[in-house]
Amino acid sequence: MTLLAVERIKLFSTRSPWWCVVVAVGLTVGFTALMSGFANEQGTVTVGFTQFSYQFGLMVLMVMAVLAVTTEYRFGTIRTTFQTAPNRAAVLTAKALLVAVLAGVVALAAAFLSFWVSDLLATNSDLSLSGADAWRNVAGTGLVAFLAAVLSVAVGILLRQSAAAVTVVLVWPLLVEGLVSLIPRIGQDIQSWMPFVAAHHFLFGGQPDSAEAAMMMGMSDVPYGPWAGIAYFGAISVGLFVVAVITASRRDA
Amino acid sequence: MIEARGLTRRYGNKVAVDDLSFSVRPGRVTGFLGPNGAGKSTTMRMILGLDRPTSGTVRVNGQAYHELDQPLRRIGALLDAKWVHPNRSARAHLRWLARTNRLPDRRVDEVLEAVGLAAVANRPAGGFSLGMSQRLGIATALLGDPEILMFDEPVNGLDPEGIRWIRGFMRDLAAQGRTVFVSSHLLSEMAQTAEDLVVIGRGKLISQCTTAEFIDNASESLVRVRTPQAEELRAALARADAEVRVEVETGALLVSGVTTQLVGEVAAAGGVVLHELAVERASLEQAFMRLTDDAVEYQTTALPAPELVTAGR
C-alpha cells in the first residue's frame, strides 16, 4: 500500500500524466462525435461504431505508461527509488498497477462518454446498451487499456529510453500487426495471433459490425472467441512484465 | 558502520573495484579519496545496493543493504544531486521519498529548513542552481534522520560559500555521533574535513589510516628559504645533514627532512640573513599524486610533435 501511495504521488506531481488523460479522452470522444455526427443521416450508428476510435485513447495511454517508467530512468529517480525501497519487484509492480488502473479508468470513461455523445448526436439510430456483447464492447475497453498499460510499463522497464520504448508501443500495434498479414500464405495466420489483434477481437468479436471493425485493423478472421482473445492478450502482457521485473532486479540500477 | 570485504566489481574485462576491504567508523568523518575513475562512485553504488558486486560483500550496520527495513532511516546518501525530476517541486520530491519509508510529512519541512531551501520548496527542482540542487540532495540524505550519511563529491562545482557550508555541515553531523563517509579526489579538501581516510586507486585499497598519518607519511616536509647568502646557508645545512635543492626560477632553497626551527637555528648560528622561511604546503597534492601515480585511470601522454612537411621541394 505504501508503495502504491508513493507511486501515486510521483505520477501526479508532474504535469504530463494529466495532459495524457485529457488528450486520451478528448481524442477518443472527439473522433467518435465526428463519426457519429456525420453518420447520422444514414442511421447506421451501432454500439461498435461508437467504440471504433478507442485506439486513439489507447495509444496515448500507452505512451503515458511508458513515460511513467522511462522518465525515471532518464532523470535517475529510479535509483533514488530503489535506494529507498530495495525490493525492486514490489516497486515496479506497484507502479504498473497504479498506471494500469489509471489507464483502465480513463479508457472506461472515454468509452462511456463516446457512447453517450453518439447517443445524443445520432438521433436517427436506435442506440442502446443491451446484451452482453454490447457491454463487453464498451466496458471492455477499460480492461484492454489496463493490460496494454502493463505491457507498456514492461517495455519501458526493458528499454529504459523514452524514444525507443514509445516507438515500440506505437509502431507495433499500428504498423507491425497490420502489415504482417501481407506475408504470403502464413501472414494471416500469424496476424490472428498478434496480441493487439486478440484484444481487438475481444472488443468487437461477435458484434453485428465485427466485419467493419476487423477491416479497420486490416485483419482477418481469428480462430478463437472474444474471451480467449483477452486471456491471450493478458498472458502476453503479464508475461512480458514478469520478464521485465526479473531483468530489472538483476541488472545495475 | 560500513564494512566492505573483498568487494570486487568487473565491467567486462575492466576491473572497476578490485578486492576492496575497509570499514567506516561511527562518530567521525571518513574521507574516501582517490583520483577520478578510481572506483569511488561504483563502491558507493554497491553500498546502496544499486550495483551488484561481482564478488565480495558490503554491509551496513551488519546487514546487506537489501535486508534493511526502511533504509532511509539507517543510511542517507547523496550520490548525484541531479537525480530529481525537473518538473517536480523540491517539496514533492521529498514527500514521495518520505512516504516510501513512512516518514511524517513534517519531516520534509524540517529538512528543507535545515538546508535553507524552505523559501523555494514549491519551485520545480529543474530550475535549481548547482548549489541549490546539492542542498536538496543533502536534504534527501537527512530525511530519515539516519546514523550513517554518505556523500559523493559533495563540493564539486560549488562556490566558496557553498563549500564552507557543506564542510561545516559534515563536521556537525559527525559531532552528533553519526557516521559520515564522503568521497573526494582532492586531498586538500579531505584534509579540511576528514579525520580518517580510505584511499583507493584503480579500484584497489592504497591505505586506510587517519588523515594526519596519511599526510605525515605521504608528504616529505619541505622548507622553503630565501636568503641573499644562499651558498653559506647551503653549506651550513649540508653539515646538519639536510638535503638542499635550489629552485631554479627563484633561486630559493628547498630543504627536505627538516623543520623550520632547525633551518632558523642553523641560519642564526651562521649569521645568515633570511628573507623567507616557510613550509611548502603544495607538497600535499604532489604527495598524493606520487602515491596514486600508478593508479591514475586516465593518464596523459605527450602528443607526438607534428612532422613538418615542407612543400615545394
**What pLDDT was estimated at residue B104?**
94
Highest mean pLDDT among A214-223, A240-249, B193-202, B220-229: A240-249
Are B199 and B226 members of one domain?
no
Predicted local confidence at residue B290, as pLDDT: 65
Residue A151 has pLDDT above 90, yes or no: yes
Give the closest-approach CA distance of B258 to chain A in angstroms. 50
Domain with residue B80: its CATH number is 3.40.50.300
Q: Is residue B278 part of a domain?
A: yes
Most confident of A190-204, A238-252, B167-181, B235-249: A238-252
Q: Would residue B116 count as lying in a domain?
A: yes
Same domain, B258 and B120: no
- Alpha-carbon Rg for chain A, nearest whole angstrom, is 19
Contacts with A16 from chain B: Cβ below 8 Å = 87
* Shared-domain flag, residues B201 and B234: no
pLDDT of residue A215: 63
Same domain, B118 and B239: no
Least confident range from A210-219, A242-251, B140-149, B171-180: namely: A210-219
Cell numbers that stand for A141 in this block? 475497453
- The series of mean pLDDT values per 10 residues for chain B, 313 residues long, is 94 92 92 90 95 94 92 94 92 94 94 93 92 92 94 87 88 92 88 90 89 74 85 86 79 82 88 87 61 59 54 46
On whether both B253 and B152 belong to a single domain, the answer is no
CA A102, chain centre distance (Å) = 11
Q: Is residue B308 part of a domain?
A: no
% of chain A exceeding 70 in pLDDT: 95
- Grid cell digits, residue A157: 522497464
Which residues of B have a CB under 8 Å from any CB of A?
45, 48-52, 65-66, 68, 71-72, 77, 79-80, 82-89, 92, 95-97, 99-102, 140
ipTM higher than the 0.95 cut: no
Residues B40 and B59 reside in one and the same domain: yes
Rounded distance, CA A196 to CA A219, Å?
11
Number of domains in chain A: 1
pLDDT tens per residue across span A161-181: 999 999 999 999 989 988 888
Name, in order, each residue with C-beta under 8 angstroms of A235's C-beta and a sequence gap of 6 or more.
Answer: none
What's the pLDDT at B294?
Answer: 59
Asked if residue B258 and residue B225 are part of one domain, the reply reads yes
Question: Do residues B76 and B188 both lie within one domain?
Answer: yes
Same domain, B55 and B173: yes
Let me know if residue B300 belongs to a domain: no
Residue B309 lies in a domain: no
Confirm whether B313 is domain-assigned: no
Which residues lie across from B254 on neighbouring strands? Answer: B224, B245
Chain centre to alpha carbon of residue B182: 6
The 3-state secondary structure of chain A, one letter per residue: CHHHHHHHHHHHCCCHHHHHHHHHHHHHHHHHHHHHHHHHHHCCCCHHHHHCCHHHHHHHHHHHHHHHHHHHHHCCHHHHHHHHCCCHHHHHHHHHHHHHHHHHHHHHHHHHHHHHHHHHHCCCCCCCCCCHHHHHHHHHHHHHHHHHHHHHHHHHHHHCCHHHHHHHHHHHHHHHHHHHHHCCCCHHHHHHCCHHHHHHHHHHCCCCCHHHHHHHHCCCCCCCCHHHHHHHHHHHHHHHHHHHHHHHHHCCC
User: How buried is residue A251: exposed, middle or buried, by Cβ count under 10 Å (0-12/13-18/19+)?
Assistant: exposed
Q: What is the residue-averaged pLDDT of chain A? A: 91
- The domain boundary, picked from B147, B178, B210, lies at B210
Q: How far is B97 from chain A (nearest CA, A)?
A: 7
* Domain encompassing residue A99: 2-250
Helix/strand/coil for B9: strand
Q: What is the identity of the amino acid at B94?
A: L
Domain that holds residue B283: 219-294
Is pLDDT larger for residue B214 or for residue A30? A30
- Inside any domain, residue B57: yes
Smallest Cβ–Cβ distance between A80 and the set B51, B83, B95 belongs to B83
- Domain count across chain B: 2
